[in-house]
Amino acid sequence: METLRAVEVHCYSLCIHILVEEALAWNACRLTLIDLFQDKRFGSLDESEQNRLVRMKAIARSMELAASRTEMNKGEKRGIGSVTLGR
């Protein structure tokens, strides 16, 4: 658990750099930390390997959320998910 606390700031800084939007960055960081917690080998890696894994997973999660945000924005532009009231 201490290992995750040690990489949390680095993880968030990567996510916010990619996503810019704070709420999305926190979510990407949270999901990344969960991924790292579930990775049995993470705690046994040396610091440089841990940082590499944090970077890889944080970028992947951030890109995943960026893609879903883009898809949601496309849907809103097409009127998908919105309700138009008749007169």
Query: Residues of 23-33 as b/e, b for ≥16 C-beta within 10 angstroms?
Result: ebbebbbebbb
- Find the mean pLDDT for residues 44-64: 96
- Give the residue extent of every domain in the chain: 2-77
pTM here? Answer: 0.79
Integer Cα distance of 14 and 27 in angstroms: 12
Each residue's pLDDT tens digit, 60-83: 999 999 998 877 777 666 655 555
Higher-pLDDT residue of 41, 80: 41
Q: What is the mean pLDDT of the chain?
A: 88
Structural contact between residues 53 and 36, judged by C-beta atoms closer than 8 angstroms: yes
